[in-house]
């Protein structure tokens, strides 16, 4: 989710689900070590439970970045061994590390030694011509020897040559059964499923045998699917019962951020999909996209867009 999610996205998503565990976008270890830490790592306390996802392949650098993350108050550190982009490969991290389980184990060992919070791994079922059965089993067994007990597995191979990151999310076939077999073979580990899940209705059956599911771009483009998370995993109701509630919950946050100098579109770009497939959804997107970038735009842009959506919904209900 690099270049997609940020702290404002997570704050918005937290208004829809109290119990979903939220992850940062992948941040490189060296960016954490040498960059603007407040800009990269700061968050609102309401975002917890919150995981910092790191990218890198140098054990010492990852250990230092993990400690920095722990000091910032993150509940968990996750090492990304699943991203297939050329930029990530060029930095020798992400999915290409599936071919180097011993190096990943060294990284996890160093990270775990540096912090007291859990350190987890997000990976693929394999890359390129690797055998999905043997490669994944060897990878997880090797890394688990460090004491790592939690793996999030994207149930697709990553083809590092010839496919773009987008194609790597769509073309390699999903193999959910492989992830279930991994859990069956190593029941003492926490195995979470990622990839291709678009609704909680699709995800929930996997929770009968697995320890968790991860929703990525589907939650970004259709954020209201998170409204079903709390009832599915915690038997509680969502903090916002309607989309209108979620919009109104964002107003104080938006006002605060604008007062600090943030431009409205930095927040509203994450809210465009709230009315996906709903009456007035297109007008919601158009209104926010057009108005949020204007000089002086404030939370009234959101309130006016909400009025448009509700008027359209009422019109369609009356016609029906």
3-state secondary structure of 61: helix
What is the residue whose two structure tokens read 């903090």?
239
Beta bridge mates, 244? none
CA dist., res. 297 & res. 313, Å (int):
25
Beta bridge mates, 154? 124, 194
CA dist., res. 97 & res. 51, Å (int):
21
Residues with Cβ within 8 Å of residue 248, at least 6 apart in sequence? none
Question: What are the phi and psi torsion angles at 197 (to 5°)?
Answer: -85, 125
CA dist., res. 71 & res. 63, Å (int):
12
Of 286, 182, 21, 79, which Cα lies nearest the Cα of 13? 21
Angle at 240 between CA 234 and CA 245, to 5 degrees: 175
Residues recognised as catalytic = 83
């Amino acid at each position: 989710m690099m270049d997609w999610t940020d702290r404002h996205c997570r704050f918005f998503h937290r208004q829809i689900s109290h119990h979903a565990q939220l992850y940062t976008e992948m941040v490189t270890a060296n960016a954490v070590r040498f960059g603007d830490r407040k800009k990269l790592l700061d968050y609102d306390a309401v975002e917890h439970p919150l995981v910092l996802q790191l990218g890198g392949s140098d054990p010492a650098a990852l250990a230092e970045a993990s400690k920095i993350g722990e000091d910032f108050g993150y509940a968990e550190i996750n090492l990304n061994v699943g991203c297939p982009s050329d930029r990530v490969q060029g930095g020798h991290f992400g999915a290409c590390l599936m071919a180097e389980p011993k190096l990943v184990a060294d990284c996890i060992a160093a990270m775990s030694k540096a912090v007291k919070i859990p350190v987890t791994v997000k990976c693929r079922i394999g890359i390129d011509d690797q055998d999905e059965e043997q490669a994944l089993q060897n990878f997880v067994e090797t890394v688990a020897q460090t004491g790592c007990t939690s793996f999030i597995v994207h149930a697709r191979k990553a083809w590092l040559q010839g496919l773009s990151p987008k194609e790597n999310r769509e073309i390699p076939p999903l193999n959910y059964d492989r992830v279930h077999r991994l859990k069956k073979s190593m029941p003492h580990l926490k195995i979470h499923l990622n990839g291709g899940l678009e609704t909680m209705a699709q995800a929930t059956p996997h929770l009968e045998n697995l320890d968790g599911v991860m929703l990525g771009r589907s939650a970004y483009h259709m954020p209201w699917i998170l409204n079903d998370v709390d009832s599915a995993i915690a038997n509680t109701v969502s903090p916002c019962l309607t989309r209108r509630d979620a919009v109104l919950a964002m107003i104080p946050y938006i006002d605060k951020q604008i007062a600090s100098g943030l431009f409205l579109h930095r927040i509203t770009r994450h809210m465009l999909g709230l009315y996906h497939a709903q009456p007035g959804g297109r007008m919601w997107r158009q209104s926010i996209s057009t108005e949020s970038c204007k000089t002086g735009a404030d939370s009234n842009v959101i309130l006016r867009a909400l009025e448009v959506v509700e008027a359209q919904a009422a019109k369609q209900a009356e016609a029906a």
